[in-house]
Chains A and B, each alone.
Chain A
Amino acid sequence: MDLLIEIASPINDIVDQLGANDLPYAIPLHPNLVHFTIGLFAIGIAFDFAGAFYPLEKRVFRFLALPVTRTGFHDVGWYNVLACAVITFFTVAAGFYEMLLAVPLPGIRSVIGQNAIDTMLWHAIGGVALLLIIVAMTIWRGYQRFVWRKDLGRQVTWLYLGCGALILVIMGVHGSLGAWLASEFGVHITADQLLAAGADLQEVLP
Chain B
Amino acid sequence: MLELLPPLNDKNLPWLDVIHPIVVHFVIAMALITVVFDFLGVLTKRRNLFEVSFWNLVVATVAIFVAIIFGQIEAGLANPYGASRDILNYHSTLGWSLAGVLGLLTGWRYVVRQKDPTSLPSGFLVIDAVLAVLVFCQVYLGDKLVWVYGLHTVPVVEAVRSGALS
Q: Is the CB of A40 within 8 A of B29?
A: yes
Does B56 count as interface, using CB distance less than 8 angstroms? yes
- Contact at A36–B114, with CB atoms within 8 Å? no
Contact A196 B155 (CB under 8 A): yes
The answer, among A27, A38, A179, A186, for a CB contact under 8 Å with B150, is A186
User: Which chain A positions have C-beta within 8 A of B33?
Assistant: 36, 39-40, 80, 83
Do the beta carbons of A191 and B26 come within 8 Å of each other? no
Interface of B: prevailing SS: helix
Within 8 Å of chain B (Cβ to Cβ): is A43?
Answer: yes
A190 adjacent to B150 (CB under 8 Å): yes
Contact of B153 with A43 in the complex, beta carbons under 8 Å: no
Judging by beta carbons under 8 Å apart, are B29 and A192 in contact? Answer: no
Asked if A100 lies at the interface with its beta carbon under 8 angstroms from chain B, I say: no
For A67, the chain B residues whose CB sits under 8 A away are 113-114, 117
B96 at the interface (CB under 8 A from A): no
Instruction: List the A side residues contacting B28 at CB < 8 Å.
Output: 35-36, 39
Q: Say whether B81 contacts A28, CB under 8 Å.
A: no
* CB of B74 within 8 Å of the partner chain: no
With A and B bound together, what is the CA distance between A69 and B54 in angstroms? Answer: 13
Judging by beta carbons under 8 Å apart, are B144 and A191 in contact?
Answer: no
A195 contacts the other chain (CB 8 A)? yes
CA distance A75 to B48 in the complex (A): 7
Q: How far is the CA of A47 from the CA of B26 in the complex (A)?
A: 13
Contact with A along B11-43 (1 / 0, CB 8 A): 100001110011011101110110011000000
Q: Is A191's CB under 8 angstroms from B155's CB?
A: yes
A54 to B33, CA, bound (A): 24
The answer to whether A105 has its CB under 8 Å from any CB of chain B is yes
- A55 CB-CB contact with B under 8 Å: no
Chain A 18-51 against B: per-residue CB contact (8 Å), 1 yes, 0 no?
0001000011100110111011101100010000
By size class, the interface of chain A is: 35 or more
Q: Would B82 and A35 count as touching, CB distance under 8 A?
A: no
Instruction: Using known A-B contacts A43-B59, A67-B114, determine if residue A191 contacts B29 with beta carbons closer than 8 Å.
Output: no
- The residue in chain B whose Cβ has the minimal distance to the Cβ of A175 is B22
A75 to B11, CA, bound (A): 41
A160 interfacial contact with B, CB 8 Å: no
Asked if B51 and A75 make an inter-chain contact with CB atoms under 8 angstroms apart, the answer reads yes
Is B148 located at the chain interface by the 8 A CB criterion?
yes
Please judge, given known A-B contacts A39-B30, A75-B48, A205-B148, whether A195 and B155 are in contact too, CB under 8 Å: yes
Q: Which of A124-182 contact B (CB under 8 A)?
A: 175-176, 179-180, 182
Chain A residues, CB < 8 A from B166: 202
Query: Is A179's CB under 8 angstroms from B17's CB?
Result: yes
Query: 1/0 per position for A178-206, CB-CB distance to B under 8 A?
Result: 01101110101111100110001110011
Given contacts A26-B148, A67-B114, A183-B152, 13 further A-B contacts (CB under 8 A): A35-B28, A36-B28, A43-B30, A75-B48, A179-B21, A183-B154, A188-B147, A189-B146, A189-B147, A190-B150, A191-B150, A195-B150, A200-B164
Q: List 18 A-B contacts (CB under 8 A).
A: A21-B148, A34-B25, A35-B24, A35-B25, A36-B29, A42-B25, A43-B56, A47-B55, A69-B51, A71-B48, A75-B51, A76-B55, A182-B146, A189-B146, A190-B149, A195-B156, A205-B83, A206-B82
